[in-house]
Amino acid sequence: MVETNGWTQDKANEKLRELAKRAQTDMEFRKLALADPVAAIAKIDPTPLPKWFKVRFVDNAGATLTVVLPDPPSQSSELSDAELEQVAGGGDANRCGGSCVVSCGISAIV
């Protein structure tokens, strides 16, 4: 089973909304989010992110759109634990398959 440290899609969405709101008005916090995303998230919620999860924030560059591409299919015909959880949880087929739990929530913010 994939360890999530209590992070769910709903929790991630909520915390990202808080982070985005704070980063709009607190320039020091914004700089922290760009330089050390894990430390910025910890200021919003001290629950550690799963060790396997990587996060990055980028400054809005006007009309530039950043698109997160899904992971390539694995070479194995067996489903990974994360894929099995996505299927068992009834995940949305239009999402990234669970590999970007937090970044998928960004679309709800923008």
Per-residue confidence band for 40, with pLDDT thresholds at 50, 70 and 90: very high
Residues counted in the chain: 110
- Rounded mean pLDDT, 55-63: 85
In a domain, 79, yes or no: yes
Helix (H) or strand (E) holding 23: helix 9-25
- Rounded mean pLDDT, 45-65: 86
In a domain, 15, yes or no: yes
CA dist 82 and 97 (Å) reads 8
In a domain, 95, yes or no: yes
In a domain, 97, yes or no: yes
- Give pLDDT, residue 89: 61
Global pTM value: 0.59
Domain coverage including residue 39:
9-109
Mean pLDDT of the chain: 79
4: Cβ contacts below 8 Å, ≥ 6 apart: 50, 101
In a domain, 100, yes or no: yes
Per-residue confidence band for 107, with pLDDT thresholds at 50, 70 and 90: very low
What is the tally of structural domains in the chain?
1
In a domain, 105, yes or no: yes
In a domain, 38, yes or no: yes
- Give pLDDT, residue 14: 93
In a domain, 82, yes or no: yes
